[in-house]
Amino acid sequence: MSFITRGFGGRSRERDDRLPPGQTLVHDFPVLSAGPTPEVDTAEWELRIVTEGATHRWSWDEFNALPHEDVSTDIHCVTHWSKLGTSWRGVSLDTLFENVESQFDFVMAHSYGGYTTNVPLDELLNGQAWVVTEFDGEPLDPEHGGPARLIVPHLYFWKSAKWVRSLVMMPRDDPGFWEQNGYHIHGDPWQEERYW
């Protein structure tokens, strides 16, 4: 699978295997934001997980004391760009959800600034999603979601809420901001779940 056939003018088999249908590679890092970049002060910042019974909260210091992981992953934007092998550092949602109990199966991610996006809980667990504070070994740029953003790299990148503030458990898969505006409820790039 990871065998690379690369020659003069040839194509990389590995690259082709990693590029979902309809996507084009980029080497820069485009910024896509529906509104202005919110100013988020880490002294005031908190991350919350809200269930039907409890609110779990982490201050910036508490969050930084959690076990962190380095994540290398491909990302795919619905506007047709993909970026391979991006490097992030943050806390796995498996860690954040360790002591969280809920009967609900769906999550709405809410951001500072008001953005929302919905994801089924089982697509955030088992090493599929992180709240990250670093990109390429540096603190995450505010325009890319700093101080902290969600990444859910196996889904189109609009599911990766920048400036994430809370993860709210929901009984149904209610649509978030882009999902209410015509984007697919699920967003798998390999199935081209772009719009609906």
Ligand X SMILES: Nc1nc2c(c(=O)[nH]1)N[C@H]1C(S)=C(S)[C@@H](COP(=O)(O)O)O[C@H]1N2
Please name which of 80, 159, 154 lies closest in space to residue 116, comparing C-alpha atoms: 159
Q: Is 15 helix (H, G, I), strand (E, B) or coil?
A: helix
The minimum distance between CB 33 and ligand X, in angstroms, equals 4
What length does the chain have?
196
| Interface pattern 17-36 for ligand X (x via CB under 6 A) | -------------xxxxx--
- The residue ranges of DSSP E strands in the chain, in sequence order, are 24-25, 46-50, 55-59, 69-76, 81-92, 106-111, 116-120, 130-135, 138-139, 149-151, 164-170
Binding span for Mo ion by CB under 5 A among 10-18, 73-81, 108-116, 179-187: 73-81
142 HSE (CA, 13 A, CB side): 10
> Quick one: which of 4, 25, 32, 65 contacts Mo ion (CB under 5 A)?
32
Can the peptide bond before residue 142 be classed as cis, meaning omega within 30 degrees of 0? no
Instruction: Report the residue number, 102 or 160, with the smaller CB distance to ligand X.
Output: 160
Site string for ligand X, 67-106 (x = CB under 6 A): ----------x-----------------------------
Q: Which of 18, 45, 113, 125 binds ligand X (CB under 6 A)?
A: 113
Closer CB to ligand X, 90 or 145, in the complex: 145
